Amino acid sequence: MKRLMALLLALGLMLGLTPALAEGKAFSFGGALDDMDLIDVHKATSSGVLQGGIMVCEPLLALQPDGSLAPQLLAEMPAVSEDGKVFTCKLREDVYFHDGTQLTSKDVYFTLHRIFDPATANVNAWLCDMILGGKDMLDGKATELAGVTIQDDFNFTIELEYPYAPFNYILSCPQMLIYPQDACTAAGETWGIDSFVGTGPFVFESFTAKDTLHLVANEKYYEGRPQIDEVYLYNLDRGTALMEFEAGSLDLVNMDPTYVKGYQEGEFATNLVMSDLRGIIALNLNVAMPPLDKVKVREAVAHAIDQKAIVESYLQGNGTVANSLITPSVAGYTDRPSFYDPEKAKALLAEAGFPDGIKLVNYVSETSSIAGIPVVLQEQLKASNIELEVNRVDSATYVSLRKEGSVQCPLLTWYADMPDPDNFTYTFFQSGNSKFFSSNWNDPLTDELMAKGRAMPAGEERIEIYKQIDQRLVAEEFVTVPLYNPVTYYLKSDKVEGIFFDGSMFHLDDASIVE
Amino acid sequence: MSIKANAKVQDAAYTSFYHDAFVRLKKDKVAVACLVFIVLLILVAIFAPLIAPYEEGYQDTSAILEGPSSKHWLGTDEFGRDILTRIIYGSRISLSVGLIAEAIAVTIGVFLGALAGYYGGKIDAVISRIIEVFASFPHILFAIVIMFVLGTGVINVFLAIGFVGWTGIARIIRAQVMQLKEKEFVEAARASGGSDLKIILRHLIPNCLSTIIVVVTMAIPSDIMYEASLSFLGLGVQPPVSSWGEMISMARKYLRTNPTYSVFPGIALVLTVLAFNLLGDALRDALDPKLKNL
Amino acid sequence: MLKFTLRRLYQTVIVLLGVTLVTFIMVNVVPGDPVAVMLQKKADDATINRIREQMGLNDPLPAQYFRFLTNAVTGDFGNSYFQKKPVMELILRAFSVTGTLAVLVLAFAIILGVLMGTLAAVFRGKWVDRVIMMISTLGMAAPSFWLAIILQLIFGLTLKWLPISGLRQPNAYIMPSVALGMIYAASLARLTRTNILDAMNQDYIRTARSKGVGEFFVVAKHAFKNAGIPILTYLGTLIKSILGGSVLVETIFSINGLGRLLVEAIMKRDIPIIQGCTVYIASVFVIANLLIDLTYGLFDPRIRVAGPAKR
């Protein structure tokens, strides 16, 4: 409290002396945020948008640096019923939205209802559609959300359609930020563009689409006013953002690993931070497009790829070889040796009836960070008699083709929403989802295992199930060839401390600027 | 003298015109140097597999993003591909663009321009309006939109650029034909029973040849730049094909650590464009000084 | 003059109509369903169809074109699919940026180009002339995007004199203007030099010289006037090239101009923006040409009779 007063005093003095100074304790963050059309997390999937959103609004629970969960807007962790389907929640009573209204259960209901309301066209509804009644709303069969019941202003329960062990993680995801019913309804179509009200450490000040997001500190933040006064989020082209950082006009910059070499030595070496991304880059093999409909052919492709070479030469060591669909820190991970063996690959192809090799067609979005990987694969696969045609297209075309299930070997780039194996498997390989990712894997056994895993409580048995799923997908049916686990880098200026990067987003609540 | 003989005299004078022009050109040392450069470039493009030290897509995984060295004279790119090799192969794309895009532009442009100039009246009005409509779209943006309609790939780049550039030629040919059709030899040809099409093809267009040559030579640099721009934006060639514009675009990321990566393709581009520009100037001075105000 | 003006106006209207037609056809032939892109991860066909219906995308094409045209006349290009704002508002905001840049580029190109060209003409044959011509030849050959990157590296990063991106400070306009304008300055220099040299050989100049008027004033007063017309002609092309060529420079300097707006809209299939931008840019060019032609007509009676100048 004393510290707060001192800070406010200093701020007051500063403001008194230098009225027009936009700097002082202003934090500037630059990144490639071309998708930043708005910051409503219900309408976007890219991290740039979510990054802006989480600074203004908050989810019910929060992911901690050590991977565990802690209550954020809730007063304590939810109580889970015996059958794992009902989550009893109690809200903190000291939380207010930036417009002064108090956070109550009606806002939680409003937010969850909005997620499933067809009029919202929420692109992330799939993440929490195990909430009872969610799917009915999406299908238009219901107008109210059956699974959320309000007891009083600070108590409510969420009921699921089936027991889902990692549900608490879902409640901590950036897509589940709680919106204020009054402000959000009033804003209508301009929510996330001209106004965005939340409970978070920073208040929405102004937004210019695809350009700048300007936030100011929430003086009344219930966890204490953040030490940073203002935050600017800029959309800059990657190379330009780095140059701006060097010139001193940015405090934090995301860096694509391809640029890292230039910064590992020299002036900015101490500003460089590496972070694991809890993600996987894999080559999906479309089982509906011949010759990939034959297991032996897919097995051959798995034997034709040298992941080590990709990581060591093209990625220059910025990544870890992956031989499992699930990342090492998540339950269900299996360590297995690489399949790389070009001679065996050629033999397998011959056995499958292709002694002269095969031709595959890849499409990749040219703006994607992994757009170079197919080029590396193109050369590698030559040694196994596989000719890979690479087509770099714009992202709209790519999404459209992939969603039709017509890309023969798309690259899967996935950064998990939560540290749970279900997020790595169900999302792409469940028969209802697989077409969308051009996998077209439609296998009753896999579906059955996945349904079982989702409903099971955490524990050894559940881990076993996911190991089985991973084994089937990667080492038996070769539906996907894991390549590597990506890492990311960022540059943070010497002036800044206390930034927390949770594997996908930056949290600035505890950050401070040291002059 | 018979009318036919008159026409022949015109043709005879016409041949010595080219001869004179060629003599004048030979005297201009700069123009000769440019011509030599372009011929060499064409040879490099044709014999690329023989000249280039490595295969086009070959990735030397032990040498990623290296500067010039004895193994790789101009260094390597992010995939370990030899930059010198890619610049050599890149010449194929740049020259092909010049050739094919111009062929398309000339075909459309000359055809429409000649029709408009020769017939005049309503046909001219309609064609002129069409020319104006297509000429009012900025070239690059139009090419980008066309690329999105057609999809990426080298062939589509040629089509897009050719389709964008025809308006310039059309206008010039139209003006030339309008002037020429009043000349005597046309009257003569008509009198001797030539059909309109024959007159246009046999007499008018060949007389515009010098203009066409100049315009084409001066348009090629723009075409090469458009291709480089399209590839820079990621809309051009597909891997492993290399294009100078694409190389410059990829090199942007590595500007700090490997400035040579973007410098060398840039130099190749500048030299080629320069050569065509200067040659075009010289050709224009030699063949048709009236075009000075282009 | 009136007849000429009316004739040109009539032609302009037809051309503008043609522009809208060509734009509409191109944009609606582009593959890739914008609604699917909008809904990204999961949308079943029923939802997609419902939204298409809402947006009027299921109506027959001629009906859609007619609606587009009637709205376009009032400047209403609908709302952006992704940014939810009226397209016209986005275009005007982007145009103020690109327009400012264009004016600066024009100023840079004209001032530098004409100055260089005049100097070269006055000192023809001497080293000044040769150096200027060499620089301008090189200047015409360097691609604007390459030049932009080099400038960024030297002045922004190494010397730290100028901001690398954005237009947040007044001096941020310098590098983009130079990068974009260099080619035009170079070709204007050569054009000016040629025209002044030609004009200088005319009789009336020799007369002025024989009267003893200073060389420079001779050039300035008499040659300029005649050289002015081809430069005016070039202006039209210049405007068009700047409007289009700004895309690359805008990308490199992270400037939110018209070119970038259009290209990004194309990447996302944001059809209202694509249509609006294309029609807008083409219209600006057409109207600029109209004004240039009318200016010609005002000053040079020969043009009024002969028709619009060769460009």
pLDDT in tens, A171-186: 999 999 999 999 999 9
Q: For residue C143, give the chain B residue with the closest CA.
A: B225
**B151: burial class by Cβ within 10 Å (0-12, 13-18, 19+)?**
middle
Determine contact: C42 vs chain A, CB below 8 A. Answer: yes
The single-letter code of the amino acid at A469 is I
With H, G, I as helix, E, B as strand and everything else as coil, classify residue A208. strand
pLDDT of residue C255: 83
Helices C258-268 and C87-122, axial angle in degrees (round to 10): 130
Mean pLDDT for the stretch of residues A221-227: 89
Nearest chain C residue to B230 by CA: give it.
C248
Nearest to C100 by CA among C237, C250, C229, C282: C250
Angstrom distance (rounded) from CA B45 to CA B262: 20
- Note whether A157 and A87 are within 8 A (CB): yes
The tokens for A149 are 């019941």
- Smallest CA-to-CA distance from B40 within B282, B230, B275, B200 is with B275
ipTM rounded to 2 decimals: 0.73
Asked if the Cβ–Cβ distance from A378 to B240 is below 8 Å, we say yes
User: Which residue of chain C is at minimal alpha-carbon distance from B267?
Assistant: C142
Please return the burial class of C253, using the count of CB atoms within 10 Å of its CB with bins 0-12, 13-18 and 19+: buried
To test the contact with chain A by mutation, choose from C267, C269, C273 the residue with the greatest count of A C-beta atoms within 10 A, namely C267
Count other C-beta atoms under 10 Å from residue A1's C-beta. 6
Examine the pLDDT at A34 and tell me if it is beyond 90. no
Q: What percent of chain C has pLDDT over 90?
A: 0
How far apart are alpha carbons C227 and C110 in whole angstroms? 13
Range of weakest confidence among A402-411, B93-102, C151-160: C151-160
Whole-number Å distance between alpha carbons of B253 and A168: 40
Q: Which residues of A touch C37 (CB under 8 A)?
A: 396, 399-400
Q: Cβ contacts of residue A458 below 8 Å, gap of 6+?
A: A165, A166, A331
Q: What is the rounded CA–CA span in Å between residue A295 and residue A476?
A: 9
Mean pLDDT, chain B, rounded, equals: 81
Q: How far is A102 from chain C (nearest CA, A)?
A: 29
Please give the structure tokens belonging to residue C170.
Answer: 């007044």
Residues of B with Cβ-Cβ distance to A314 under 8 angstroms: 61, 64, 78-80
Token output for C16: 């503008």
User: Closest Cα of chain C to A118: distance in Å?
Assistant: 8
Nearest CA among B191, B212, B209, B196 for reference residue B7:
B191
**N residues, chain C:** 311
Q: Is the pLDDT of residue B165 over 90?
A: no
Kindly write down the DSSP assignment for every residue of C247-267, as one continuous string: HHHHHHTT---HHHHHHHHHH
Query: Are residues A309 and B61, on separate chains, in Cβ contact within 8 Å?
Result: yes
For position C229, what pLDDT does the model report?
Answer: 67
Residue C39 has pLDDT above 80, yes or no: no
What dihedral angle (degrees, nearest 10) is formed by the CA atoms of B182, B185, B191, B194?
-100
pLDDT digits (tens, 9 = 90+) for A412-451: 988 888 888 888 888 889 888 888 888 888 889 999 999 8
Please list the helix, strand and coil fractions of chain A in percent, rounded to the nearest 5, in that order. Answer: 35, 25, 45
Among B59, B152, B254, select the one facing A379 at the smallest CB separation: B59
Closest CA to B208 of B138, B128, B117, B146: B117
Tens of pLDDT, residue by residue over B235-284, are 778 888 888 888 888 887 777 777 788 888 888 988 998 898 888 888 87
Burial of A337 (0-12, 13-18, 19+ CB in 10 A): exposed
Q: Which two tokens stand for residue A319?
A: 């990544």
pLDDT on residue B11: 52
Res. A8: pLDDT tops 80: no
Cα–Cα distance, B57 to A363 (Å, whole number): 18
Inform me whether the C-beta atom of residue C251 falls under 8 Å from chain A C-beta atoms.
yes
For the ranges A238-252, A309-323, B93-107, the lowest mean pLDDT is seen at: A238-252
Locate C188 and state its tokens. Answer: 């204007």
Maximum separation of any 2 CA atoms in chain B, in Å: 79
In chain C, pLDDT over 70 holds for what percent of residues? 77
- Put simply, the answer to whether B79 touches A375 (Cβ < 8 Å) is yes
Q: Which residues pair with C279 in a beta bridge?
A: none
What amino acid is encoded at C275 in this protein? Q
Nearest C-alpha neighbor of A391 from the set C268, B94, B156, B63: B156
Residue B271 Cα, gap to closest chain A Cα (Å) = 27
Q: Which of B171, B233, B273 sits opposite C311 (nearest CB)?
A: B171
CA distances from A464 to A480, B280, C93 (A): 20, 74, 57
| Model confidence band, residue A7 (pLDDT cutoffs 50, 70, 90) | very low
Which range has highest mean pLDDT (A28-32, A202-206, C55-59)? Answer: A202-206
Residue of C nearest to A189 (CA): C84
Whether C81 contacts chain A with CB within 8 A: no
For residue B285, CA distances in Å to A163, B279, C119 come to: 84, 10, 22
Average pLDDT value for residue range C49-66: 74
Instruction: Kindly report the nearest CA distance between residue B266 and chain C, in angstroms.
Output: 7
Strand A86-90 with A155-159, pairing? antiparallel
* Rounded distance between C-alpha atoms, residue A505 and residue B111, angstroms: 59
Q: Average pLDDT of chain A?
A: 86
Distance CA(B245)–CA(B233), nearest Å, equals: 9
The span from the CA of A265 to the CA of A344, in Å, is: 41
B290 lies within 8 A of chain A by CB: no
Three-state helix/strand/coil letters over A332-346: CCCCCCCCCCHHHHH
Contacts of A154 (CB under 8 A, 6+ apart): A75, A90, A91, A92, A93, A104, A105
- Residue A484, helix vs strand vs coil: strand
* Residue B149 distance to chain C (closest CA, Å): 5
Tell me if A175 sits within 8 A of A127, measured CB to CB. yes
Is C165 near chain A, with CB under 8 Å? yes
Residue C304, pLDDT score:
55
Residue C215 touches chain A, beta carbons under 8 Å: no
Q: Identify the closest residue of chain C to B131 by CA–CA distance.
A: C15
Residue with tokens 């376009």: C72
Nearest residue to B21 via CA among B210, B270, B267? B210
Across the interface, of B64, B148, B235, the residue whose CB is closest to A316 is B64
* Chain B interface, best mutation among C27, C145, C273, by max B CB count within 10 A: C145
Contact C278 B248 (CB under 8 A): no
Using the beta-carbon criterion (under 8 Å), do A210 and C32 form an inter-chain contact? no
Residue A74 carries which DSSP code? B
Q: What are the backbone dihedrals phi and psi of residue B53, each rounded to the nearest 5 degrees, phi first?
A: -65, -30
pLDDT of residue C309: 43
Which residues, in sequence order, are bridge partners of residue C171? none
The answer to whether C290 and C12 have CB atoms below 8 angstroms apart is yes
**Which amino acid, one-letter code, is at C111?**
I
pLDDT over 90 percentage in chain A: 39
CA distance B204 to B116: 13
Pick from C19, C294, A307: nearest CA to B133: C19
The residue of C48, C164, C171, C264 whose CB has the most chain A CBs within 10 angstroms, and thus the best one to mutate to test that interface, is C164
pLDDT digits (tens, 9 = 90+) for B111-131: 898 888 888 888 888 998 899
Provide the H-helix boundaries in chain B: 3-27, 29-46, 48-51, 83-96, 102-119, 121-135, 139-150, 154-180, 184-191, 196-198, 205-232, 244-251, 259-287
Kindly list the distances between the CA atom of residue B136 and the CA atoms of A218, B158, C264, in Å, as whole numbers in the listed order.
51, 20, 21
Inspect the interface and report whether the beta carbons of B233 and C11 lie closer than 8 Å. no
Pair A294, A447: CB distance under 8 Å: no
Give the mean pLDDT of B205-232.
83
Considering only CB atoms, B79 lies closest to which of A262, A372, A394, namely: A372
Residue A123 pLDDT:
78
Chain C residues with beta carbon closer than 8 angstroms to that of A249: 163
- Nearest Cα neighbor of B115 from B102, B106, B124, B104 is B124
| Alpha carbons A340 and A383: distance in angstroms, whole number | 11
| Full DSSP string of C112-170 | HHHHHHHHHHHTTTSHHHHHHHHHHHHHHHS-HHHHHHHHIIIIIIIS--S-SSSSSSG
The identity of residue A484, as a single letter, is Y
Rounded to 10 deg, the angle between the C258-268 and A395-403 helix axes is 10
Cis peptide before A342 (omega within 30 of 0): no
pLDDT (mean) for A276-286? 90
In this prediction, residue B15 has a pLDDT band, given cuts at 50, 70 and 90, of low
Structure token digits, residue B224: 């090469």
Question: Hey, is the C-beta of A119 within 8 angstroms of any chain C C-beta?
Answer: no
Q: What is the pLDDT of residue C114?
A: 83
